[in-house]
Amino acid sequence: MEAYIVAAVRTAGGKRGGRLAGWHPADLGAKVLDEVVRRVDADPLIVEDVIFGCVMQIGEQAMNIARSALLASGFPQSVPGTTIDRQCGSSQQALHFAAQAVMSGTMDIVIAAGVESMTRVPMFSSTSLAEKAGLGTYVSPGLARRYPGVQFSQFAGAEMMARKYDLSKNDLDAYALQSHRKAAAATQNGSFADEILPLDIAQADGTVVSHRVDEGIRFDATIEQIQSVKLLAEGGRISAASASQICDGASALLVVNERGLKTLGVTPLARIHHMSVIGHDPVIMLEAPIPATAHALQKAGLSMGSIDLFEVNEAFASVPLAWLQATGADVAKLNVHGGAIALGHPLGSSGTKLMTTLVHALHRQKKRYGLQTMCEGGGMANVTIVERL
């Protein structure tokens, strides 16, 4: 059987402490669940499982946030949910699990989704609070023996990538500027209109505004502003301006097989053409999308030239720039509406968020194949190739 995406939706990203700061993440997840079935007029009762990506599974995001989001939504309580963690690729992996379920025929209609409130549940909460509570660290004696003296860090990995691929601070800053410019243009020309679920936000003065524009975009960004931002590490090349933005957000995809298509009576947006995931060096950590892309294309029987649009998560500017250099991809096909440097990287939601943008972009541009990949903590990368239908 095949796996198809029939609906794809996301919230606009919220800055840290911004418009989505008042939303409990389970309620944010509930909103995209309700919307993704509404878009195809589907009865939520027929959804057989809901798979959420979420990275910081502590506090408001603990106790299986997929189930919490379902119980906060308009879905019947008979619909189950589960939460997974593959670090930044969590909801991309949720999509893979959903697709595998419907391709196997054990289920026909599954939702893949993701949520992260980085305002309310800050990055590294799950490790830092555990250590403060005396619950230890994830680095076991065996892990420490295999990687002696290593402090696993995405920030260190990003700098290692910049040096390995000879990317200067100017290169990184110039890329960051382009991310903002592309995101601003996409917003202004309506490219995101069909994929974003507007949310009503109550202001301090009692007025209500509609949140429908990604808050992180700097519409008036200049290279001088970007170059003036302080480096993350002394002697380094990466600053906060050339790194992904802390972000609150949620996203969801409705995934079905042929029986699901008949049940819903809808035309699919895209077909899942390929799914894979690989492990790579956990020290440089962020390089995995490069070999993962080669692996995926080889298994799919496609070339780089066969792919019309690429989404490579902008965890740091050094990641897509190194990926471009190593793969020889056409820069004009990469992150055509900007990326996480401008739009934000809501960790567990980013996988389904990027796929939502990719599928809608393929339709707007009438292109055929799209490839999505992202670096993940621990040195991994998922790759998903979709075909527009």
How many residues are listed for the chain in this entry?
Answer: 389
Selected catalytic residue, list 54, 88, 247, 337: 88
**96: β partners:** none
The catalytically annotated residue of 180, 273, 337, 375 is: 375
Catalytic residue among 211, 280, 337, 345: 345
Nearest Cα neighbor of 255 from 104, 111, 68, 44 is 111
Main-chain phi, psi angles of 238, to 5 degrees: -105, 135
CA-based end-to-end distance of the chain: 16
Tell me the C-alpha distance between 336 and 321, whole Å. Answer: 14
Task: Name the residue among 243, 366, 347, 357 with its Cα closest to residue 311.
Answer: 357
Q: Which of 48, 18, 38, 375 is nearest to 211 (CA)?
A: 18
Helix (H, G, I), strand (E, B) or coil at 117: strand
Q: Rounded to whole angstroms, how far apart are CA atoms 101 and 103?
A: 6
User: Which residue in this structure is represented by tokens 């005396």?
Assistant: 134
Q: Is residue 345 annotated as part of the catalytic site, yes or no? A: yes
Active site residue 54: no
Backbone angles phi, psi at 95, to 5 degrees: -65, -45
- The whole-angstrom separation of Cα 156 and Cα 139 is 17
Active site residues: 88, 345, 375
